[in-house]
Structure 1
């Protein structure tokens, strides 16, 4: 199933609204970089791969719609990039997710 990614700039987070439940990735913007700081999926949505779908959508948005370099401070995001190495191209040169 596909979900619509929402960039909630007021709350500084990317969101999926799934039947009134919000899965989200918090971010900070500084010095031309985007820092993904925290991923949260409500327990009622757990075990469905929503976190991974959310991260993939966020990374796609960062790649296609921004000039930001990525700092994955969230361990879930870093683990996703480690598994899906095609996303390393949008990382800041200061980041190592080996």
Structure 2
């Protein structure tokens, strides 16, 4: 599986798998990153792509000292299932 890339110009974390692009869209607001939605194409669903994408996005937020606002239900559910990321919540 490919590496997750932060496409800051588009405000999206992205990963490409077998020609399909999954994204986690965000908006930066000062010291906060708001995750607005996640999209994983049906062709690559169920293979952990979304989880890899969000894990990398949250790790990046931590590395940058950002607090997280998970407006996206997928991101919120990921944080609920992975308590090690709860300290990032704004």
What range describes the TM-score normalised by the shorter chain of this pair?
Answer: over 0.9
In the alignment, structure 2 segments of 5+ residues that lack a partner are: none
Residue in 2 that maps onto 1:95: none
TM-score by length of 1: 0.85
Q: Which residue of 2 is the match for residue 19 of structure 1?
A: 18
Q: Secondary structure at the match of 1:87?
A: helix
Structure 1 residue aligned with 2:67? 69
Tell me, which stretches of 5 or more residues in structure 1 are unaligned?
Answer: 93-98
Counterparts of residues 1-98 of structure 1 (less than 5 Å)? 2-64=1-63, 66-92=64-90
The higher relative CO (CA closer than 8 Å, separation ≥ 6) is in 2
How many residues in Structure 1 have an aligned counterpart in Structure 2?
Answer: 90
Partner Cα separation in structure 1 for residue 56 and residue 66 of structure 2: 15
Deviation at 1:20, TM superposition (A): 2.1
Q: Give, in angstroms, the shift of residue 18 of structure 1.
A: 1.4
- Which has the higher Rg, Structure 1 or Structure 2? 1
Task: State the TM-score, normalizing by the size of structure 2.
Answer: 0.92
Match of 1:61, SS state, is helix
- Separation (CA, whole Å) in 2 of partners of 1:84 and 1:5: 19
1:81 deviation in Å? 0.5
Q: Secondary structure, in 3 states, of the residue corresponding to 1:10?
A: coil
